[in-house]
Amino acid sequence: MAYDVIVIGLGGMGSAAAYRLAQRGRRVLGLERFAPVHTRGSSHGGSRITRQAYFEDPAYVPLLLRAHEMWDQVERDSGERIFHRVGGVLAGPPDSGTLTGSRASAEQYGLKHDVLDARETRKRFPTLRPEPDEIALYEEGAGFVVPEAAVRAHLELARRAGADLRFEEPVTHWEQGRVTTAEATYEAGHVVVCPGPWAPGLLGDLEIPFEVERIVQHYFTPAADGFDDHPVYIWDPADGNGFYGFPRIDGAVKVAFHTGGQPCTADTVDRVVHDHEVDAIRNATALPMPGIAGTYQRGATCMYTNTADRHFVIARHPGHDDVTVACGFSGHGFKFVPVVGEILADLATDGATRHPIALFDPARLRGGA
């Protein structure tokens, strides 16, 4: 059977792309190297922060506004609970990139937010203990999404719309209009590649120096009260030892470092969580959030696929007009899943999109770091 579009990779981005393409009446084949909703890539771990006061660049905000609308639609259509609006706190020195960037985005787009000094922060959120010279930005509309539920919902919606989804069938080669797996060779008018941490191999011809980074997620039973009804948070202290985390979900609070992981490959990543890694997160959280790192429950590894500037790659492939790519999400992509699916469907079917994606042009990164 010939397909209109083949989607390689059915994690967060690929599952959303398969759904949006099938929803538009395209004959879609989705290929995934593992079982559905697996834990081997970057779309697992129980929670991902979503926010709109975006310190990384104000250009992301219109995409986030659309994504929040689309999460609601996906929930209604699938019956899955995905988006939990619990609010979000970003804390640190007033001149930190996290605070200055978030304030700039919030002010530019008129996003509802509160800026709190240290005393106000401690009063409003007793679990947080900022230094006297630190501030916090509170965003009421922030929260978290459940990655497993999001992928499961998009896969089910894609199936309902007629997509042919195949699992445990890794892609070994792709070229103009043709994709080869361990099982067969398939043909299509267009190919969408969403490889996650397998980008360095599957998209080597982009000539982009992707770095795959091992990140550890830690789950604790907190030793203090107050974490059941709690916002998500990102702490950016002056010493650079920043971390982020979540309220208690299914009996555990999750906390992790956003940077400082180990370089790895998707096939050789160390999936063992070591004692020194647990000690490091305990030490980092001891003063600003005492009591959060109580009894250790478990750890899990995840992978970031980083670009040099930490911005995404979403575009028609510069060397193949019938191929669209989405990769290099650099540890902050999951909150964009539904709108990225829409963008990929636009690019695959129309060659363009109404969404602002100039920031994600691969030309900025090709040929060097």
Q: Residue 175: how many CB atoms within 10 A of its CB?
A: 10
The model carries a pTM of 0.96
Q: Report pLDDT for 280.
A: 97
Considering only CA atoms, which of 100, 108, 15, 16 is closest in space to residue 62?
108
Q: Report pLDDT for 1.
A: 64
Q: Is residue 92 within 8 Å of residue 235, measured between CB atoms?
A: yes
Tell me: the pLDDT tens digits for 71-110? Answer: 999 999 999 999 999 999 999 999 999 999 999 999 999 9
Considering only CA atoms, which of 247, 296, 215 is closest in space to residue 49?
247
| Alpha helices, H only, the chain | 12-23, 61-78, 97-109, 118-124, 147-160, 199-202, 275-285, 337-350
CA–CA distance, 39 with 35 (Å, rounded to integer) = 9
Longest dimension (CA), the chain: 66
Q: Report pLDDT for 366.
A: 79
Q: How many CA atoms lie within 13 A of 124 on its CB side?
A: 18
Q: Report pLDDT for 177.
A: 87
Question: Mean pLDDT, to the nearest integer, of 117-134?
Answer: 97
Q: How many CA atoms lie within 13 A of 28 on its CB side?
A: 33
Tell me: the pLDDT tens digits for 153-167? Answer: 999 999 999 999 999
Please identify which residue in the block is written with the tokens 């670009």. Answer: 307
Q: Report pLDDT for 176.
A: 80
Tell me: the pLDDT tens digits for 167-209? Answer: 999 999 998 889 999 899 999 999 999 999 999 999 999 999 9
Q: Is residue 30 within 8 Å of residue 159, measured between CB atoms?
A: no
pLDDT higher than threshold 90 for residue 369: no
Tell me: the pLDDT tens digits for 226-265? Answer: 999 999 999 999 888 899 999 999 999 999 999 999 999 9
* Mean of the per-residue pLDDT values of the chain: 96
Q: Residue 276: how many CB atoms within 10 A of its CB?
A: 7
